[in-house]
Structures are given as structure tokens and as C-alpha cells.
């Protein structure tokens, strides 16, 4: 039961809370963005409104409204809402809450919603402790995570839950959120106005993160307040938040990046695909995102080195040498100078002619080796240092012929030239194939040369 002292304590706590917490909506009508997940007609919205929710995992980057949505559910549902910390919580804590939920259900007929923020931080045994309770609906689990749940959450727990993905907020949603915060009685109470360029800067800096946008607004308002005293600003004499205030409050922009999570893999994927797609500007942008976030330069260089063979190969053999040099530079020089080496290599890869013939060729050969029949080495290619080798077929030594080439079978029986390697139509690879064809057409296939021994076999 609430008391006067509890009301005072709650009021003081709210007054000292950050702006993002003070203006957090309590109903779905006040929830901004995420129409694809919780918009009109969506399953989640109907489940919340009709209090028919079952276990779900809210997945998305920071500042997309996962915790806010959980609190809206807490304010809407008739069930008991319990929150457990994934950082400090133990298996014992979980079992205690599950036992309490079971007692609540049996004695009062009241359901329990268990909210676990950052659920990916729970280890395997902690997640396992929830399985039976979730399966028999002793508790309805709401997990929130910034990590891909398919990688970080037990598959058994995922199969008993519904995954709801939240995405970074668009500019329109962030703009609405910021205007609300300026006017909200629990926010800035109409004591501030904001210039369009300042608002645009906050939205750009936020990068889809609502919490970051509201924090920037709060800090900028403190910079704008006369002599730093927020009490001097009022609806009667509102203070204008200028672009300089926003930049002073955010001296350095930092875009989201996590070296061990989805953003890490998304950005390196975009970097590789930009080089493969021959777009040097995009390659430089994604490279800069990784460098700015402090990504290991050797990790970046390794990906460039792989791409040099996988996507360029012999269309430009020089690419592999440049990628190897970039890796060595990253290893020896390090940041900040090796950013230039990485940039040079990335631009070269983007501009180089492309061929995936090396990768496709070795993969086709491996498939043949693993799934095809056993194929013997042609006798004329076998090693000659064994008894009976004099009966092997004649090996023709290519250097004894004018073009350095002579018609001869090198593949085992059952495979023909061109069955594994398909050269690309670009760069050195295409030119060399054409040149080889000309050499063959001009090369006489004649008699055995003088460098062959008496029985027609070249000495090894």
C-alpha cells in the first residue's frame, strides 16, 4: 500500500532520473515507432491490449524501445510483473521467482510476467532454470536482448517463445519523441525551444537510438540554460537550444558498434560486399566505421586478404600481394597510420577486375574428391622411383617444346579439361587463357625430345 513517504520517495527519484526515463510512455498510444512490431493490427499489440500475452523475446539495438515496451506491458496487464537482473541474478533468484509464481497461480489464480533485461547475459544453467516454468506457463517470460537470440539464447527457450525484432527508429519517430520531451511536464516542461538545425543534428547523432537522442537533448538544454541553471528557463521565457549547444554537448560522435555482436558482423559484411561490388566509396565508409570503433586492424586486413583470392583471384594476381602487404602493415605498424594501408588495399580491391574462379574451382574439385569415385593417377604422371616404372606410359616434358606446352592428359580418367576451372572473362585471367589457347594452337605435337631417356620417359 502506498504511503506519503513512498510518494515523496518516488517523486524525488523521478525528478533525478534522466530525461529518457522521465518521459517513458506508460501506454501503447504513447509508444513511438516500431509499427511493424507493435502497430495497429499486429499480434503483439492485440496480445497486450487483450492481456493474452505468452513468452516473447524482444530483440534489437540499444534505444529501440525494448525496456519501454516491457514497462507498458507491466502497466497494462492484470498479471504480476516481476523483473530480474541478468547481470546480478542467479539460478537461486530465478527459482525463487518461479516458486513464487507457482504459488501465486495456485493460490490466487494470478499469472506472473517475468521480465529479464539483457537475457543473453544469463549463462546456460540460468536459462535452463526457466525452461519448465516457461513451458507450462507458470511464468510468461519477456526477455530483452541486443544480441541475436538465435545465437545467444537456448534453442529450447526460443522454441517456447516468440521473437519480436525491433529496429532503429527512423528520423520521423525520433523527431516526434524529441518534440514530446520538450513539451512533456515530466520532461523539459516547455521551457526550451530548439532550432531546426539543432534538432537535425541530434537526430543524426542518435543514429536511430531514442535513448541517445533524449540524452543529447537533455545535455544540450543544460548547455543552453542561462549560467547552467535549469530553473531560470520557463514556458514564459523559453530558452532556445542552438546547434552549438548540441555540438558542445556531443564533442565526439560515436556510432553503434560491438566487436562481438551483430553490428560487428553486419559492418564487416557490408565492407566485403562493397569491395566485391567495386564501390570504393562504400568500402571506405564501412572501413572508417570499423576503424573509428577501434576494430582490430588485423581482423580487417584478414578479410581483405581473403577477398583478394575469393573475389579477384587471377583476374588481378597483384591483389593478393597488396592484401598481404596490408596485413603485414596492420601487424607491424598498427593504428593510426595503418588506416592508410588498409584504405589503399580496400580501394585497390574495389577497383580490381573480379573473378571467383579460384574459389569456385577448388570447391568444385573438393566436391569431386569427396563425392566422386576413386580416380587413379595416369601412369605417365606417376613417380618413376619404383620397380616396374619402366612400364609406365611416356611423359612429355613441356619445356622441350617450342611453346613450353604439349598436348597431354593430366586429369584422371572420367574428368575433362574445363570440368572444374571456369576462368572469368576479365583481367589477367581472361588474357592468359586466350594466350594459352594461342600457344597450344601454334605448338607442334611431335616426336620425343632429346631430353627423354631411351625408354621414352623423362628423368625426374
Overall average pLDDT of the 133-138 stretch:
87
Percentage of residues in the chain having pLDDT higher than 70: 87
Quickly state the pLDDT bin for 229 (edges 50, 70, 90).
Answer: low
Domains with residue ranges and CATH for the chain: 34-165 (3.40.50.300), 171-249 (1.10.8.60), 262-351 (1.20.272.10), 359-442 (1.10.3710.10)
pTM above the 0.75 mark? no
pLDDT confidence tier of residue 109, bands split at 50, 70 and 90: confident
State residue 264 phi and psi, 5-degree precision.
-55, -50
In angstroms, rounded to a whole number, what is the distance separating the alpha carbons of residues 428 and 357? 12
pLDDT value at residue 121: 84
Rounded to whole angstroms, how far apart are CA atoms 83 and 114? 6
- The winner for highest mean pLDDT among 322-326, 330-334, 434-438 is 322-326
- pLDDT for residue 11 is more than 70: no
Angle 289-197-291 (CA atoms, 0-180°, nearest 5)? 10
pLDDT at 208: 86
User: pLDDT, tens digit, for every residue of 24-35?
Assistant: 988 888 898 888
All residues at 6 or more sequence positions from 251 whose CB lies less than 8 Å from its CB, including other chains: none
Q: CB of 395 within 8 A of CB of 320?
A: no
- The pLDDT score that the predictor gives to residue 451 is 39
pLDDT value, residue 432? 77
The pLDDT-based confidence of 3 (bands split at 50, 70, 90) is: low
- Lowest pLDDT segment from 39-48, 321-330, 448-457: 448-457
Grid coordinates standing for 452?
Answer: 627423354
CA atoms within 13 A on the CB side of 133: 25
For residue 151, give every residue at least 6 positions away whose Cβ sits within 8 Å of its Cβ, in sequence order, or none. none
User: In the predicted model, is pLDDT for residue 448 greater than 80?
Assistant: no
Looking at per-residue pLDDT, the higher value among 350 and 235 belongs to: 350
For 388-441, the pLDDT digits (tens) are 888 888 999 999 998 888 999 999 999 999 999 999 899 988 887 766 666 556
pLDDT at site 439: 59
Mean pLDDT across the chain: 85
Is the pLDDT at 156 greater than 90? The verdict is no
Helix (H, G, I), strand (E, B) or coil at 171: helix
Which pLDDT belongs to residue 450?
37
Percent of the chain with pLDDT over 90: 38
Q: What pLDDT, on a 0 to 100 scale, did the predictor assign at position 371?
A: 94
Q: Give residue 260's pLDDT.
A: 55
The predicted structure's pLDDT at residue 381: 92
For 254-281, the pLDDT digits (tens) are 556 565 556 778 899 999 999 999 999 9
Q: 329: Cβ–Cβ under 8 A, 6 or more apart, which residues?
A: 301, 338, 341, 342
Residue 15 confidence class, pLDDT cut points 50, 70, 90: low
Provide mean pLDDT across the span 172-187: 92
What is the signed CA dihedral for 29, 31, 36, 40, rounded to 10 degrees?
0
Q: Which pLDDT tens digit goes with each residue over 75-96?
A: 888 888 888 888 777 888 888 8
Q: Do 349 and 308 form a contact (C-beta atoms < 8 A)?
A: yes
Contact predicate 288/321, CB 8 Å: no
Burial of 180 (0-12, 13-18, 19+ CB in 10 A): middle
Residue 456 has pLDDT above 50, yes or no: no
Indicate whether 449 pLDDT > 50: no
Amino acid at each position: 500500500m502506498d504511503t506519503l513517504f513512498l510518494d515523496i520517495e518516488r517523486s524525488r527519484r523521478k525528478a533525478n532520473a534522466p530525461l529518457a526515463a522521465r518521459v517513458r510512455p506508460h501506454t501503447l498510444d504513447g509508444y513511438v515507432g516500431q509499427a511493424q512490431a507493435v502497430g495497429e493490427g499486429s499480434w503483439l499489440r492485440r496480445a497486450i491490449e487483450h492481456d493474452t500475452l505468452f513468452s516473447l523475446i524482444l530483440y534489437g539495438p540499444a534505444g529501440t524501445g525494448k525496456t519501454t515496451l516491457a514497462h507498458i506491458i507491466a502497466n497494462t496487464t492484470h498479471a504480476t510483473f516481476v523483473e530480474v537482473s541478468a547481470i546480478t541474478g542467479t539460478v537461486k533468484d530465478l527459482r525463487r521467482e518461479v516458486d513464487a509464481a507457482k504459488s501465486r497461480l495456485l493460490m490466487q489464480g494470478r499469472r506472473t510476467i517475468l521480465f529479464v533485461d539483457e537475457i543473453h547475459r544469463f549463462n546456460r544453467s540460468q536459462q535452463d532454470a526457466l525452461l519448465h516454468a516457461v513451458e507450462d506457463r507458470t511464468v510468461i517470460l519477456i526477455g530483452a536482448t541486443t544480441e541475436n537470440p538465435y545465437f545467444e539464447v537456448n534453442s529450447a527457450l526460443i522454441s517456447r517463445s516468440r521473437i519480436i525484432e525491433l529496429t532503429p527508429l527512423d528520423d520521423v519517430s525520433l523527431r516526434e519523441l524529441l518534440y514530446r520531451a520538450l513539451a512533456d511536464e515530466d520532461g523539459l516542461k516547455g521551457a526550451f525551444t530548439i532550432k531546426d538545425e539543432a534538432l537535425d543534428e541530434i537526430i543524426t547523432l542518435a543514429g536511430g537510438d531514442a535513448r541517445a537522442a533524449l540524452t543529447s537533448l537533455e545535455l544540450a538544454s543544460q548547455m543552453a540554460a542561462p549560467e547552467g541553471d535549469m530553473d531560470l528557463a520557463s514556458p514564459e521565457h523559453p530558452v532556445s537550444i542552438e546547434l552549438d549547444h548540441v555540438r558542445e554537448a556531443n564533442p565526439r560522435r560515436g556510432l553503434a558498434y560491438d566487436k562481438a555482436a551483430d553490428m560487428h558482423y553486419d559492418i564487416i559484411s557490408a565492407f566485403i560486399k562493397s569491395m566485391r561490388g567495386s564501390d570504393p566509396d562504400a568500402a571506405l565508409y564501412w572501413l572508417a566505421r570499423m576503424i573509428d570503433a577501434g576494430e582490430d586492424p588485423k581482423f580487417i586486413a584478414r578479410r581483405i586478404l581473403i577477398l583478394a583470392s575469393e573475389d579477384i583471384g587471377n583476374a588481378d594476381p597483384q591483389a593478393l600481394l597488396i592484401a598481404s602487404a596490408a596485413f603485414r602493415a596492420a601487424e607491424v605498424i598498427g593504428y593510426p597510420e595503418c588506416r592508410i594501408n588498409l584504405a589503399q588495399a580496400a580501394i585497390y580491391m574495389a577497383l580490381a577486375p573480379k573473378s571467383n574462379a579460384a574459389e569456385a574451382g577448388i570447391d568444385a574439385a573438393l566436391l569431386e574428391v569427396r563425392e566422386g569415385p576413386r580416380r587413379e593417377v595416369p601412369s605417365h604422371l606417376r613417380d618413376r622411383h619404383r620397380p616396374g616404372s619402366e612400364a609406365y606410359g611416356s611423359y612429355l616434358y613441356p619445356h622441350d617444346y617450342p611453346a613450353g606446352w604439349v598436348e597431354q592428359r593430366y586429369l584422371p580418367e572420367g574428368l575433362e579439361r574445363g570440368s572444374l576451372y571456369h576462368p572469368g572473362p576479365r583481367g589477367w585471367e581472361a588474357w592468359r587463357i586466350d594466350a594459352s589457347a594461342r600457344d597450344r594452337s601454334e605448338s607442334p605435337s611431335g616426336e620425343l625430345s632429346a631430353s627423354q631417356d631411351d625408354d621414352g620417359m623423362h628423368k625426374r
